[in-house]
């Protein structure tokens, strides 16, 4: 087995990229599992006589649990480590994903969605920490961009696999089969993963390359400790760097959810598209997120390789993306659906480029022993924003709809979204100006 892995990764040591593939697959399964209930909504609401309010309650149960889970899971993963922590996370969400097949009624589905949300919340805290453990700073953004692309790959996979299963089986089997994918992943993860300092399959040269950013004290801890370093979690809230990451998630994540959930109705209202048929326009937009995720990570990694300070490279990339995002304001002048597709595709791609660099910034500003906790804190802030912002969106659009000009409501939202990135970047810049990485001894 060890010889086979060495041959796969090359004699000069490329095993860390196999780890990224595992993260990409996990993130893909994560988004596949959460999308299924939306795709099965017409079938389930007919079988269980759901109202729109019933379905909304089920969705809110997941969202609330996801927010709480982000805060909890990051802290737990920092305590028990990524190998065990990621395994538990995927097992929990896979089991609850499969239990959807046994649910009956609103209460039953809400209960399993809570379990799914708590489990799925651990994916990003674990994945970002794994990247911090396995990659030097100059490669982290690219690695993060690759696994973050799983968010869009998961959506597209759901669109392909759910109809296929329904064609041969029923909706129960959709949950059983897709849930089992996570359990298979855990087996592969357990066989192939360990932190670099204890991994038997990587070369000494690759281990040295991975650890090139570590201080002598961190290097000693990685070599000598058999257990993760204990973090004083409450101390994280005292650092401006934490609040910079929180701002980057809290103000921007809700915009992405707006793009995902309201775009179909926007195209229906503005361009009279039939949403009952496969929609090439929407598929194009969702596909653009993959390009943005990987491209955004490549850009800041390239700057670091060319000698830029790490934090400066991330912030310069974020500033570029913030300016590009202003282009979404032009969507209100789109004379046809494909012009709107082009502008919105750019917007969602830029968002994913932003998200990739925000995640990476957390690993730049904090030692890897605390990364999951910081990502969890920021992720919860983004999830809470994802609950509150839709309320505002709904109120605004209802007001404009009552006035007979729904499209104008979307134009207001596009304008708001376009400038929010620049405002958020300014907050991040002020909070991180002249501040370096938080030392491990201040939080351990």
Q: What is the pLDDT of residues 361-395, one digit of tens each?
A: 988 888 888 888 888 899 889 888 877 887 787 78
Q: Do 130 and 23 form a contact (C-beta atoms < 8 A)?
A: yes
pLDDT of residue 156: 79
User: 337-365 and 406-432 are packed helices; what angle lies between their axes, rounded to 10 degrees?
Assistant: 20
Mean pLDDT on 270-281: 63
pLDDT reported for residue 264 = 65
Instruction: Summarize pLDDT for 51-76 with one digit per residue, the tens.
Output: 767 887 888 888 889 989 988 888 89
pLDDT above 50 (res 303):
yes
Place of tokens 């906790």: 373
Q: Quick check: 4 pLDDT over 70?
A: no
Q: What is the pLDDT of residues 75-90, one digit of tens each?
A: 899 889 999 999 999 9
Domains and CATH numbers, the chain: 1-230 (1.20.1250.20), 236-435 (1.20.1250.20)
Of 274 and 174, more confident: 174
- Residue 100 in this model has a pLDDT that exceeds 90: yes
Across the range 133-159, mean pLDDT stands at 88
Mean pLDDT of 103-130: 93
Q: How many CB atoms lie within 10 A of CB 36?
A: 21
E strands present in 139-209: none
Q: Examine the pLDDT at 3 and tell me if it is beyond 60.
A: no
- Over residues 307-351, the pLDDT tens digits come to 899 889 999 999 999 999 999 888 888 778 888 889 888 998 999
Highest-scoring range by mean pLDDT, 8-17, 240-249, 358-367, 409-418: 240-249
Write the pLDDT tens digit of every residue in 9-31.
Answer: 444 578 999 999 999 999 999 99
Tell me, what's the pLDDT at 224?
Answer: 40
The whole-angstrom distance between residue 287's C-alpha and the CA centroid of its chain comes to: 15
pLDDT value at position 27? Answer: 96
Q: What is the DSSP string of 296-338?
A: HHHHHHHHHHTT--HHHHHHHHHHHHHHHHGGGGGGGG-SSHH
State the Cα–Cα distance between residues 395 and 194, nearest whole angstrom.
49
- Reported for 49-56, long-range contacts at CB under 8 A and 24+ positions apart, including other chains, are 50/106, 54/106
User: What pLDDT, on the 0 to 100 scale, is given for residue 2?
Assistant: 44
Instruction: Give me the mean pLDDT over the 244-269 stretch.
Output: 81
pLDDT for res 15: 92
pLDDT band for position 214 (cuts 50, 70, 90): low
What's the pLDDT score for residue 234?
83
pLDDT at position 5 is: 42
Mean pLDDT, all residues of the chain: 85
Report pLDDT for 261. Answer: 64
Among candidates 150, 178, 151, which has minimal Cα distance to 164? 178
Q: What is the pLDDT of residue 105?
A: 87
Q: What confidence score (pLDDT) does residue 6 get?
A: 44
Cα(124)–Cα(166) distance, rounded to whole angstroms? 30
131 vs 360: CA distance, rounded Å? 9
What local confidence, expressed as pLDDT, does residue 220 receive? Answer: 42
């Amino acid at each position: 087995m060890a010889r086979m892995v060495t041959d796969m990764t090359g004699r000069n040591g490329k095993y860390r990229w196999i780890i990224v593939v595992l993260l990409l697959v996990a993130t893909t399964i994560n988004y596949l599992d959460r999308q299924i209930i939306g795709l099965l909504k017409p079938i389930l609401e007919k079988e269980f006589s759901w109202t729109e309010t019933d379905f909304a309650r089920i969705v809110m149960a997941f969202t609330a649990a996801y927010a709480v889970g982000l805060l909890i899971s990051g802290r737990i993963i920092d305590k028990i480590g990524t190998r065990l922590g990621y395994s538990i996370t995927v097992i929990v969400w896979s089991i609850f994903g499969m239990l959807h097949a046994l649910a009956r009624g609103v209460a039953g589905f809400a209960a399993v969605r809570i379990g799914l949300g708590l489990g799925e919340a651990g994916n990003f805290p674990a994945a970002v920490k794994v990247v911090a453990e396995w990659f030097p700073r100059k490669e982290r953004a690219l690695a993060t961009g690759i696994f973050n692309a799983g968010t869009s790959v998961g959506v597209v996979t759901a669109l392909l696999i759910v109809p296929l299963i329904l064609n041969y089986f029923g909706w129960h089997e959709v949950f059983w089969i897709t849930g089992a994918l996570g359990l298979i992943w855990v087996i592969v993860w357990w066989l192939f993963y360990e932190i670099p300092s204890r991994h038997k399959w990587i070369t000494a040269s690759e281990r040295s390359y991975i650890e090139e950013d570590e201080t002598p004290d961190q290097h000693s801890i990685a070599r000598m400790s058999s257990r993760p370093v204990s973090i004083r979690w409450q101390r994280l809230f005292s650092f401006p760097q934490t609040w910079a990451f929180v701002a980057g998630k809290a103000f921007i994540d809700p915009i992405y959810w707006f793009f995902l959930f309201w775009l179909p109705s926007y195209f229906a209202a503005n361009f009279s598209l039939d949403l009952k048929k496969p929609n090439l326009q929407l598929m194009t937009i969702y596909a653009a997120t993959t390009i943005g995720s990987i491209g955004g990570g490549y850009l800041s990694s390239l700057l670091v390789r060319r000698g830029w300070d790490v934090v400066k490279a991330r912030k310069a990339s974020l500033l570029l993306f913030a300016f590009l995002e202003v282009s979404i304001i032009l969507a209100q002048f789109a004379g046809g659906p494909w012009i709107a597709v082009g502008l919105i595709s750019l917007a969602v791609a830029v968002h994913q480029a932003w998200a990739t660099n925000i995640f990476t910034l957390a690993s730049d500003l904090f030692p890897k022993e605390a990364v999951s906790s910081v990502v969890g804190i920021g992720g919860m802030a983004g999830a809470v924003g994802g609950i509150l912002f839709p309320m505002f969106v709904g109120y605004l659009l209802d007001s404009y709809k009552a006035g007979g000009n729904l499209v104008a409501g979307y134009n207001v939202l596009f304008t708001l979204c376009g400038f929010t990135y620049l405002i958020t970047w300014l907050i991040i810049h002020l909070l991180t100006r002249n501040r370096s990485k938080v030392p491990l001894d201040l939080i351990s």
